[in-house]
Amino acid sequence: MTAPSYTRGDFQTDQEVRWCPGCGDYTILASVQMFLAELGRAREEFVFVSGIGCAARFPYYVNTYGMHSIHGRAPAIATGIATTRPDLSVWVMTGDGDSLSIGGNHLIHALRRNVNLKIILFNNQIYGLTKGQYSPTSEVGKSTKSSPFGSLDYPFNPVSLALGAEATFVARTLDMDRNHTQEMLRKAYEHEGAAFIEVYQNCNVFNDKAFIQLSGKEERVHNRIDLQHGKPVVFDEGNKAVVMRSGEAEIVDATSVDPKAILVHDENRVDPSIAFALSRLSHGPYGPTPLGVFRDVSRPSYDGAMQAQLEQATEKLGAGDLDKLIRSHGTWTVGANSNGSKS
């Protein structure tokens, strides 16, 4: 049977896309639609779940099944879908405010459990939907409407957080790099279990050019560290390299060390310590910052283990009888007397 053929247009809806002109969300949307079309998989087999925020509009604009849920709870709702419908590809679209503030617990436990979800976090380091307050990823000293004298909060590093939660797949990409974004989406899609991708996303209204050091033509060559499995971690046209010293990742001049001392990236390394060290090279998009897959390891998925457990129980105990279970501890009819007549 010939696989169905799709174009990006097949994954576009009739809804007007309503983000601010110039927002990085448009590029992420295009990248996802193009990626989905390339898979050759029926649109009805995808589900996109979102919470609240600019990123949460996503389900309206992708012609698949979807749900615009409540603030921070998208991973919980998506977990229910993934565990009951393992035949579907379930995606969570969220933002730094939605998933790292009110939704923090739901995010880390979905990753810890290794539920077969693909979680895409749009990180613009600001609350865009509510008009420019500082978010859990805003830098210290950020002057906003809710912090006119500068934010006092120390921000999350989303990749470090995901690695600390024992996520089995962790990656980072940039909204304007469609090819790289689609590569990360494909790797996440192929991963069995929870996959987490942080996308640096420009908010041109409330936090414009926050990622200029990675996106600017002059700046990116000096600051973008592309992680490639099995290859030495070098950047700045080979002039800079990353080495491990006393358990920490350090940036050095490539000519100042023996080439054998340069870290060779291993995204399949079970111990997450080196991946975590790489995530700490920068605490945000400032200076040399790694992009790519930090970790990609195998561990049984929660939903897969649950299905296996149900099958074992059925084999051992037989098929369940819901009606028998409900009536197992006695029942009564509301409004009836002891002799059965209505009161």
Q: Is the pLDDT of residue 323 over 90?
A: no
Q: Please write down the long-range contacts of 276-281, taking CB distance under 8 Å and 24 or more positions apart.
A: 276/160, 276/163, 276/164, 277/244, 277/247, 277/248, 277/249, 278/227, 278/233, 278/242, 278/249, 279/157, 279/159, 279/160, 279/163, 280/157, 280/160, 280/248, 280/249, 281/225, 281/242, 281/249, 281/251
Does 186 reside within a domain?
A: yes
Does 327 reside within a domain?
A: no
Tell me how many domains the chain contains. 1
Q: Domain containing 74 — which CATH number? A: 3.40.50.970
Average pLDDT over residues 112-122: 97
Does 91 reside within a domain?
A: yes
Parallel, antiparallel or unpaired: strands 46-50 and 65-68: parallel
Indicate the SS3 state at residue 325: helix
Average pLDDT over residues 144-168: 95
Does 205 reside within a domain?
A: yes
CA distance 198 to 237: 25
Does 112 reside within a domain?
A: yes
Does 64 reside within a domain?
A: yes
Task: For the chain, give the percent of residues with pLDDT over 70.
Answer: 97
Average pLDDT over residues 162-176: 97
Q: Is 289 left (phi over 0), alpha (psi -120 to 50) or beta?
A: beta
Does 148 reside within a domain?
A: yes
Take residue 341 and report the two structure tokens written for it.
Answer: 């007549």
Q: Which domain holds residue 165?
A: 8-210
Take residue 2 and report the two structure tokens written for it.
Answer: 């010939």
Task: For tokens 């009110």, name the residue.
Answer: 102
Note the pLDDT tens digit of each residue in 196-227.
999 999 999 999 999 999 999 999 999 999 99
Does 275 reside within a domain?
A: no
With a CB cutoff of 8 Å and minimum separation 6, the contacts of 1 are none
Average pLDDT, the chain: 94
| pLDDT (0 to 100) of residue 342 | 55
Q: Under a CB-based contact definition with an 8 Å cutoff, are residues 256 and 234 in contact?
A: no
| pLDDT (0 to 100) of residue 339 | 61
CA distance 122 to 202: 9
| pLDDT (0 to 100) of residue 143 | 94
State the DSSP code for 52.
S
Helices of type H across the chain: 25-39, 58-61, 74-84, 96-97, 104-113, 158-164, 178-190, 212-215, 220-223, 273-279, 302-317, 322-326
| pLDDT (0 to 100) of residue 332 | 76
Task: For tokens 């995901």, name the residue.
Answer: 162
Q: Is the pLDDT of residue 296 over 90?
A: yes
Indicate the SS3 state at residue 319: coil
Confidence of residue 316 (pLDDT cuts 50, 70, 90): confident
CA distance 275 to 125: 22
